[in-house]
Amino acid sequence: MRLQGKTTIVTGAGGGMGLKIVEFFLREGAQVAALDLNTAPVKQAFNQADNSRLVVIEVDVTSESAVIQAVQEVVNRWGKVDALVHAAGIAQPATPVEEVTKAEWERIMAVNVTSAFLLSKAVIPYMKQQRQGVMVHIASIASQRPRPGLNAYIASKGALVALAQALAIELAPFNIRVNALNPGPTDTQMLGQFAADGTDSEQTKATVFKQSVPLGRLIKPEDIAHAAVYLCSDEAQMVTGAVFNVDGGRGL
């Protein structure tokens, strides 16, 4: 029970990584607010009526008012926010940069970066009041090892890493830790969406992405969940500003 009693907000909770993070955090004793625009997968995976430590909240993480309302709901329910694991994000089908529209660019930035700013801004006052807290922003190893055609996505994840490190140094005097977690190619539905045709291509997963991982397999959602548990636990109480790669060596 490494997270016993810790109130945690998990965004992107309906995705492959998010669902596994919710599962692991509940198993480790945390109280979890699972946030997503599409809450159906979370409700199907967990029966919140039978778990007093879980609340599922439908929220558009690109909307400041919606984010503030969701965080307030968590505080009203449990009186605090100890941790934020920001897993919300969207992919980009491989696209030559000259073909990326301004609207596509802005959408990727809104979901992958602006949402992190909004969630952080909303939870920080409560963490400052408590004089403790931890945030984990899930970025991507693509921020360090780019692939062709993922220009907007890579830019968004690079910005997310920079934001996490900027917050880490700013919030250290308040005993608030902030880290970036860089998954390598992870075996979720989202992975196939990076294909040039935008489809969930099993061949893309099995060949292009798997072959890019030195350890020889795709990362699993539970690999990411294990890392998130560690970074939010007291075992990592001196870890802040870190860029934590869970990538099977992809970043080498």
What does DSSP assign to residue 32?
E
Q: Does residue 29 contact residue 7 with C-beta atoms inside 8 Å?
A: no
> Domain map of the chain by residue range?
7-188+221-245
230 as an active site residue: the answer is no
Q: Looking at the DSSP assignment, which residues form a beta bridge with residue 36?
A: 58
CA-wise closest residue to 210 among 229, 189, 186, 228: 186
Q: Does residue 43 contact residue 32 with C-beta atoms inside 8 Å?
A: no
What's residue 235's pLDDT? 97
CA-wise closest residue to 15 among 51, 53, 61: 61
Residues 140-192: tens digit of each pLDDT: 999 999 888 999 999 999 999 999 999 999 999 999 999 999 998 888 877 77
Residue ranges of the chain with pLDDT lower than 50? none
What's residue 48's pLDDT? 66
What's residue 241's pLDDT? 98
Q: Does residue 89 contact residue 138 with C-beta atoms inside 8 Å?
A: yes
Question: At 88, which helix (H) or strand (E)?
Answer: none
What CATH number belongs to 7-188+221-245?
3.40.50.720
Distance of alpha carbon 239 from alpha carbon 178, whole angstroms: 8
Q: Is the dihedral of CA 133, 134, 137, 142 positive or negative?
A: positive
Q: Which residue in the list 46, 126, 153, 209 is annotated as catalytic?
A: 153
